[in-house]
Chains A and B, each alone.
Chain A
Amino acid sequence: MIPIEPIRLQGAIHLTSHRMEMHQRVDISRKPAPKPGWKRGEKWAGLLLLCPSILAIAVFVYGFIGWTGVVSLTRWNTLVPDFTFVGLQNFVALFQDFRFQSDLRNTLVFTVFFILACLVIGLLLATLLDTRIRGENLFRNLFIFPMALSLIVTGVVWQWIFNPSTGVNLFLKKIGLEEPPVWYVDTRILPGVEWGRIEWGIPVALIAVVVAAVWQLSGFTMAMYLAGLRAIPDELREAARVDGAGEWQIFRRVIFPLLRPITLSVVIILGHISLKIFDLIVAMTGPGANYVTDVPGVYMFETTFRGNHYAQGAAIAVIMLFMISLLIVPYLLSGMRKEADR
């Protein structure tokens, strides 16, 4: 029994009294003179209590990122640390590297297909579940269930389902397909436009991996949309119905626009998961022949910890962080601004 409670749509729907409290609180923090009941210095005592966490984040997030950045600019590509400064040499080498170019293509393709499929399936399931059907809890729990599993478990199971000599191919053979697809061992890139050192297009092998990832995370998307749908007051739909709008029109003109903040959150969350994906690939396919299923996370791991190319590994990590920051930083900043406005 999992009741999904309506969630606040990024501050869009609030109880008035709550909002007033928020304003009061913001005023408190902005005015230099403390309210009655605040002892002198207490305003800063909170900072003291936060100190251990602030220190930990400063060192282990920002400090370590800085240190990784430094390593990426050195010649430390053997077991023995060598901090000779080589500028952007490691980055230049990476962008000319067959494997890394393949990784960038794969990440891009994987991210786009994975997010699109999750959004479509998640929204569809949420919409169907929001029609006051029987057994709603059962369906919902089932669809979210894969979220509780490790990507390693998911990878191990789906590896067998898409294994070319068993799994889905047993069905395909039974219905008369002479040469069923070979799934994640397929080395074709479609359409395969040559640019740089690699062929650009959709690596067929990635389809199987996308299916496994969508199985794991479309339930999350559904939960987010369902919570969003529950937060939309029935009166809005009723009003549109009175105005003579059909169900599809209501969905397109009323419901869908209201779900936009949810869609944005989902894209950000899934996007950052997809850009740093590692476990699923390791468990399901590995880098693959011609690196058709390789991703930066796997390359970083192998080159650093199997090949002792620390500087090269650090450079990959910096590029991964950069890609994710492009997605996350605007989101975090806009969230902060919204909060300040409240």
Chain B
Amino acid sequence: MTLRPRRIVIYMFLLLAAFVFLIPVYVMVATSLKGMEEAALDRMWELPSSIQWQSYVIAWEKLAPHLLNSLYLAVPATILSALLGSLNGYVLSKWRFPGADGLFTLILFGMFIPYQSVLIPLIQFLQQIHLYNTIPGLVFVHVVYGIPITTLIFRNFYAGIPDGILEAAKMDGSGMIGIYWRIVLPLSVPGFVVVGIWQFTQVWNEFLFAVTLTSTSQQPVMVALQNLSGSQIVQWNVQMAGALLAALPTILVYIFLGRYFIRGLLAGSLKG
């Protein structure tokens, strides 16, 4: 294929955009590998002269318990909200009762609200049931406020399963639960992967609930990272190492399962 001038311009432009997109990644990686004396403000863009792991050691010490908190938070929250979303999506796409669309719209609204508008009662409620400042409390919150998005993605997903398959099962006398269990659920694996990855990323990265509903030892990693970078005494190579450590799980998910992540991204933003 010969390169025409127009194509060269396109490539040049895309390469330039890629370069700009990679600047923060370069800053993060290069700085985190520098030693204390090299991580000086006027040498920001220089490559590290030798690779030093000491900033990772310090960041790991500070963040490890919080990384664990985030894991205990994100995994159960993801599984539970995916299961709820699957059931809801199934009913709302295949067993539509009168008013189902209106109800779905009312549920969907919960996805867009600023969570500031529920925070004060939420804290009061969690204190009442003794789940304030606990990881299970945060799991509960993410499951509840995850209902709209998981329901939306599964509802769109199940719309793609032909009704004919379900009709046949109905003829055989299967009920709603039976059809879900024997026919729909086995077909749902891609749906669960998309929703699972999307929810995991969202819950892992979430900050507002985390910072208001937990303190000190219960804090998820993003709050701990913010505390780390907000303090004056911490060197910024440690901050960068911390940022990379905190982002690593979602980066890995993106690298290995990116196509499902993007499907979730698009499914969540378009009403099917």
Contact = CB atoms under 8 A, between A and B. Distances in A.
A142 interface: yes
A166 B96 contact: no
A60 interface: yes
Interface in B86-103: 87-88, 91-92, 95-98, 100-103
B243 A156 contact: yes
Interface residues of B, number: 96
Contacts of A133: 7, 10-11, 14
Contacts of B184: none
Interface string B101-118: 111111111101111111
B182 interface: no
Interface string A30-45: 1000000111001111
Contact of B222 (A28, A53, A152, A265): A152
Interface string B5-18: 00100110110011
Contact of A301 (B28, B116, B236): B116
A38 B262 CA distance: 37
A129 B247 contact: no
Contact of B116 (A224, A227, A320): A320
Nearest to A159: B229
Interface string A64-87: 110110010000000000000000
A337 to B, nearest CB: 9
Given A24-B163, A335-B271, A154 B24 contact: yes
Interface residues of A, number: 110
B265 A336 contact: no
A244 interface: no
B34 to A, nearest CB: 13
Interface in A288-339: 296-297, 300-301, 304-305, 310, 313-314, 316-318, 320-321, 324, 328-329, 332-333, 335-336, 339
Contacts of A24: 163
Interface string A1-35: 11111011010000000000100110011100000
A200 interface: no
Interface stretch (A98-106, A183-191, A234-242, A273-281): A273-281
A193 interface: no
Contact of B105 (A156, A269, A335): A335
A339 B101 contact: yes
B22 interface: yes
Contact of B84 (A52, A227, A300): A52
A60 B207 contact: no
Contact of A163 (B11, B41, B88, B121): B41
B101 A46 contact: no
Interface stretch (B49-57, B60-68, B129-137, B144-152): B144-152
Nearest to A26: B96
Given A141-B258, A332-B105, A150 B162 contact: no
A143 B21 contact: yes
Contacts of B201: 148
A324 B111 CA distance: 11
Contacts of B91: 46-47, 49-50
B42 A170 contact: yes
Contact of B10 (A3, A128, A215, A219): A128
Given A37-B171, A53-B107, A150-B247, A68 B121 contact: yes
Contacts of A49: 87, 91, 176-177
Interface in A191-230: 215, 219-220, 223-224, 227
Given A21-B163, A340-B101, A148 B24 contact: no
Interface string B205-222: 111100110000000001
A175 interface: no
B207 A150 contact: yes
A321 B113 CA distance: 6
A67 to B, nearest CB: 4
Contacts of B207: 150-152, 278-279, 282
B251 A157 contact: no
A160 interface: yes
Contacts of A272: 112
A88 interface: no
Given A68-B120, A150-B222, 8 more contacts: A21-B162, A139-B17, A149-B251, A153-B225, A278-B207, A335-B271, A336-B104, A339-B101
14 contacts: A21-B163, A42-B175, A45-B175, A53-B151, A57-B107, A67-B121, A133-B10, A143-B21, A152-B222, A223-B262, A276-B116, A279-B222, A296-B116, A336-B102
